[in-house]
Amino acid sequence: MKIKKDKFKDALASIAKEAKVFLPMKGVYASEYRVWDGAGEPFFERNTALPPKELLFPRSERMYEYDLNAGTVTEAAPDEKIVIAGIRPCDVRSVEHLDKVFLESEYTDVYYRARRENLTMIAYGCATPAPTCFCDSMDVVPTDAPGADVVMNDAGNSYVLTVNTPKGEHIRDLISSFLSEGKADDVPAVSCSLKVEKPDDLHKQLIARFDDPMWETLSDACLGCGCCSYICPTCYCFDIGRENRGKTGTAFRCWDSCMFSDYSRMAGGHNPRPTKKERLRNRYLHKLAYFPERYGTSLCVGCGRCIDKCPARLDITNVPDIIQGSESNG
């Protein structure tokens, strides 16, 4: 199936009749997935500065409200239908990872589930990886996203669509009047310029080198901010707080980052990760060792956002490089 590019917005308008449509768009200051207002242009040239995780796992989410006067607790039940049109394959992969955490472990997160069930993803096959992108080293195919409901790829003056799921079929039906026949195998292969070589047992090697001095060198320039965590599509740590107003109030959760010094500080003041070395190591190991150990896949999807945005230009790909280097050396 194909859709002419000049019909793309008309198609979105049909979808917008029954769901809130999010598009990658240029913000005033940074690009992100924004609600489509019916007119705005999609921004497909580069991946967004902010990952789409916010749509499933908001920066700040009010979980429930309580009123002790009335004796009531009202839980939030997000029920809005959301369609992301133009999500990149790396970000689709990140949603698959988040699903593992929030849905597939023994605990199911109700807020995440409600949003996830209401989400349809139309992936945009990546034709222009950025210099910092390395998703194809992390087992993502830039032009394909099996986890998406629909995949679309640029084919000159039109997009080629592939439907993967019943949700995708529903989208197809909504926009059928704008579709014409066409094949997906037109799509040329795309390759990232940044390549990461990693041994298959990377996670084991890393854990073995928990006390290696390399962590100190790697974290030398770390400022200890939360930038990498917050723009990472798969970082999912959160903190829970309350906004009390006398006998009424609300409980919320908001993003938190293991890079902050107070993240791991305990009530008595002890901090098991007292310096940036321990904190950065934890973050890297979580991406490349702990998660693979538990779920069998790397938590890093190779979107390259943290490399691009880190104030100190830290680069997660240096970690496998070091391992690979020492392996080949020795």
- Give the binding range for other proteins (CB under 8 A) out of 6-14, 83-91, 100-108, 271-279: 271-279
Q: Which is nearer to other proteins, 50 or 301 (CB)?
A: 50
Nearest residue to 149 (alpha-carbon basis) of 102, 109, 117: 117
Site string for other proteins, 168-207 (x = CB under 8 A): --------------------------x-------------
Nearest-angstrom CA–CA distance, 116 and 118: 5
Minimum CB–partner distance for residue 90 and other proteins (Å): 17
Q: Which residue in the set 172, 239, 271, 327 belongs to the binding site for other proteins (CB under 8 A)?
A: 239
Least distance (Å) from other proteins to the CB of residue 152?
Answer: 27
Q: How far apart are CA 16 and CA 127, in angstroms?
A: 26
In this structure, what token pair is assigned to residue 141?
């195919």
Residue at token pair 């029954």:
18
Strands 60-67 and 248-255: antiparallel
Alpha helix segments (H runs only) across 137-270: 166-174, 202-208, 214-219, 227-231
Pick the closer one to other proteins by CB: 51 or 89.
Answer: 51
Tell me if 162 contacts other proteins by CB under 8 A. Answer: no
Rounded-to-integer distance, Cα 158 and Cα 270, Å: 58
Q: Considering the complex, state which of residue 64 and residue 295 has its C-beta at the smaller distance from other proteins.
A: 64
x-or-dash pattern for other proteins, window 276-305, by CB under 8 A?
x-----------------------------
SS3 content of the chain, % helix, strand, coil (to 5): 35, 20, 45
Stretch that binds other proteins, among 17-25, 171-179, 281-289, 306-314 (CB under 8 A): 306-314
**Total residues belonging to the chain:** 330
- Antiparallel, parallel or unpaired: β 179-180 and 238-245: unpaired
Please select the residue that binds other proteins; options are 47, 132, 143, 162, rule is CB under 8 A.
132
Q: Is residue 5 a contact point for other proteins (CB under 8 A)?
A: no
- Give the H/E segment covering residue 99: helix 89-99
Q: Which two tokens stand for residue 272?
A: 């098991």
Residue 256, SS3 per DSSP: coil
Residue ranges in 39-68 that form contacts with other proteins under rule CB under 8 A? 49-50, 59-60, 62, 65
Query: For binding to other proteins (CB under 8 A), which residues are involved?
Result: 27-30, 32, 49-50, 59-60, 62, 65, 76, 131-132, 194, 217, 220-221, 223-227, 229-231, 239, 241, 243-250, 252, 254-255, 257, 260-262, 269, 274-276, 307, 309, 311-315, 317
